[in-house]
Amino acid sequence: MSIRKTLLCLAVGLAFGAAASAQSGTVTVNFWTAPNQGQFTYWDGIVQSFNASKVKVGSKTIVVQVQKMPETPSSEAGIQNALATKTAPALSENINRGFAATLAASGRVYDIKDEAFYKSVVVSRKMEGIMPGWAIDGKQYVIPLYANAMGYHWNVTALKALGFAAAVPTTSADLAKLVAAFKGPQGAALKAKGVDHLFLRPQLLRPENWWERWFDFQMEYEAFSGGKSLVEGDKLTMDPKIAGEVFALFGSIGDAIQGEQDDTAFERAVVPAVVMVTAPWDIPKYKTAGKKYGLSGDYIYGPPLVRKAGDVPYTFADAKGLTFYKGGNITEEQHEAAVAFVSWVFAPDKSADNDMKWLTVTGMLPMRGDLTTNAAFAGFIKENPEYAEQAGWIAHSVPAMASARMTEILTALGEKGLAPYITAAMKSQSPVDPAPYVAEAITAMKKAGGLK
């Protein structure tokens, strides 16, 4: 064979090989995790297992590349910048419902409501009762991963001294009894021992910390309203009567509210407050401080207070999840590969085990409706009873409002309504009518959010 023919055959062979390689090559999925080490560590392990499994989309092997999302200056801003500069991932976690509304308005995220893989994930994680609370205009843009369901952290020693030895307060009437006891001889005895305040919640006086409204006002609003919304679309749906009841609940504590920051109160030998708002992320530091959980120990968790015994204690969920991006630099093939990856992670035979790994690595409860009944979690819950109470709240936890102007709306709620009311209640010797403060808040919230 001549040199020319040899080179021609070689060229043809290389071209054929390149075509075959392209046809049976790889498709890369860029995946961004939250910008913290615990979540990155979890996903890095999952990605390694997935890549080793050689899952294909069409004839191509999927390769997932994982990294922490940038914070420039926030993770939300980092995602928006990536979408604008065509450097976005096909998939990311760390998306709450409020930011999902912003992304949905941009048209750069997938509505997955009718997708078979989404329906499968919902079934495998028993989220049928959870997902309606994540809907945005009847569509679904997020697969929720975890929820820190908000509740109360009680000082057991103080509770017993105030007459609650058998169980934590669960109703507004229970709180009234607790306030009366704290203002009486029992409270005086506690104060002599260094328990100076009933409620550690300086954030009630800080409207600029808008996100704190999730953890005080919205938590109790969900409990009093049966899980109703504050905002739907362009309408303020907050019930003025219920909002007033929530204001009054906190205001009834009066000057027994601790108005100064104290980040180590419940870690000290003498805890200077009876109760504070809590979530699972605080558990590790109490273990480090040597605190024992339960009515025979140092602290115990309780749900949001409800109007009357038997009401479901709906609560706010500090919850985030996975979102699929589209357009720009992201191809349809990469989207299909991202879907295949998520389907693999939450397949019926892997879902519970992978969620159990999430819990042990991150310390946060996965968003599932069966945490208290699924055998996969039974051992962990038994060995870590401080998670058990909060695990039961997940099924009736409500995520952030679906509004691109959530920051402005919640700032207005605190600035014009809640903070002024609490300030007045702390100074007054008699109950303060919440109605005018709620009315001011409603006017301000509508203006700040462009709401009807």
Instruction: Let me know whether 199 and 173 are in one domain.
Output: yes
> Which value, in Å, is the radius of gyration of the alpha carbons in the chain?
26
- Contact status, residue 312 vs residue 321, Cβ threshold 8 Å: no
Task: Show contacts of 368-376: CB within 8 Å, 24+ apart.
Answer: 368/125, 368/126, 368/127, 368/394, 369/125, 369/126, 369/127, 369/128, 369/129, 369/130, 369/394, 369/395, 370/125, 370/126, 374/126, 376/352
14, part of any domain: no
Residue 23's pLDDT band (cuts 50, 70, 90): very low
Say yes or no to pLDDT of 19 above 70: no
Residue 121's pLDDT band (cuts 50, 70, 90): very high
Residue 233's pLDDT band (cuts 50, 70, 90): confident
Strand order in the sheet with 151-155: 257-258, 197-200, 273-278, 151-155, 299-302
pLDDT of residue 338: 98
392, part of any domain: yes
pLDDT of residue 201: 97
Between 85-99, 101-115, 362-376, the lowest mean confidence (pLDDT) is in: 362-376
15, part of any domain: no
pLDDT of residue 432: 96
Say yes or no to pLDDT of 11 above 60: no
Instruction: Let me know whether 442 and 299 are in one domain.
Output: yes
- Specify which of 1-5, 134-138, 211-215, 216-220 reaches the highest per-range mean pLDDT: 216-220
- Please give the average per-residue pLDDT across 278-290, as a whole number: 85
Number of domains in the chain: 2
Instruction: Let me know whether 341 and 383 are in one domain.
Output: yes
pLDDT of residue 74: 82
136, part of any domain: yes
Domain C-terminal end among 382, 398, 414: 398
Instruction: Let me know whether 308 and 340 are in one domain.
Output: no
Say yes or no to pLDDT of 77 above 80: yes
19, part of any domain: no
Please give the structure tokens belonging to residue 159.
């509770």
The one-letter code for the residue type at 368 is R
Residue 7's pLDDT band (cuts 50, 70, 90): very low
Neighbours of 311 (CB within 10 A): 15
Neighbours of 439 (CB within 10 A): 15
Instruction: Let me know whether 254 and 284 are in one domain.
Output: yes
CATH number of the domain bearing residue 416: 3.40.190.10
The torsion angle over the Cα atoms of residues 418, 167, 223 and 359, rounded to 10 degrees, is 100
- Please give the average per-residue pLDDT across 353-357, as a whole number: 96
Residues for the chain: how many in total?
Answer: 452
pLDDT of residue 9: 42
Return d(Cα 439, Cα 239) in angstroms, integer: 11
Residue 392's pLDDT band (cuts 50, 70, 90): confident
8, part of any domain: no
Say yes or no to pLDDT of 289 above 90: yes
Instruction: Let me know whether 200 and 238 are in one domain.
Output: yes
Q: What is the number of alpha carbons within 13 Å of residue 344 lying toward its C-beta?
A: 20
- Please give the average per-residue pLDDT across 10-20, as a whole number: 36
2, part of any domain: no
Residue 202's pLDDT band (cuts 50, 70, 90): very high
Backbone angles phi, psi at 341, to 5 degrees: -65, -50
Instruction: Let me know whether 208 and 355 are in one domain.
Output: no
Domain C-terminal end among 377, 398, 419: 398
Residue 36's pLDDT band (cuts 50, 70, 90): confident
Instruction: Let me know whether 134 and 234 are in one domain.
Output: no
The vertex-11 CA angle with 10 and 12, nearest 5°, equals 90
The residue range of the domain holding 178 is 151-316+403-449
Q: Bridge-partner residues for 277, per DSSP?
A: 152
- The strand pair at 151-155 and 273-278 is best described as antiparallel
- Contact status, residue 274 vs residue 281, Cβ threshold 8 Å: no
Say yes or no to pLDDT of 315 above 50: yes
Instruction: Let me know whether 413 and 271 are in one domain.
Output: yes
pLDDT of residue 24: 53
Average predicted confidence (pLDDT) for the chain:
91
365, part of any domain: yes
Question: Residue 411 contacts by C-beta under 8 Å, 6 or more apart in sequence?
Answer: 207, 208, 210, 448
Instruction: Let me know whether 331 and 380 are in one domain.
Output: yes
Instruction: Let me know whether 304 and 444 are in one domain.
Output: yes
| Three-state helix/strand/coil letters over the chain | CCHHHHHHHHHHHHHHHHHHHHHCCEEEEEEEECCCHHHHHHHHHHHHHHHHCCCEECCEEEEEEEEECCCCCCHHHHHHHHHHCCCCCCEEEEECHHHHHHHHHHCCECCCCCCHHHHHHHHHCCCCCCHHHHCECCECCCEEEEEEECEEEEEHHHHHHCCCCCCCCCEHHHHHHHHHHHCCHHHHHHHHCCCCEEEECHHHHCCCCCCHHHHHHHHHHHHHHCCCCCEECCEECCCHHHHHHHHHHHHCCHHHEECCCCCCHHHCCCCCEEEEEECHHHHHHHHHCCCCECCCCCEEEECCCECCCCCCCCEEEEEEEEEEECECCECHHHHHHHHHHHHHHCCCCCHHHHHHHHHHHHCCCECCCCCCCCHHHHHHHHHCHHHHHHHHHHHHEECCCCCCCHHHHHHHHHHHHHHHHHHHHHHCCCCCCCHHHHHHHHHHHHHHHCCC
Say yes or no to pLDDT of 261 above 80: yes
- Specify which of 25-34, 127-136, 384-393 reaches the highest per-range mean pLDDT: 25-34
Instruction: Let me know whether 441 and 309 are in one domain.
Output: yes
Residue 344's pLDDT band (cuts 50, 70, 90): very high
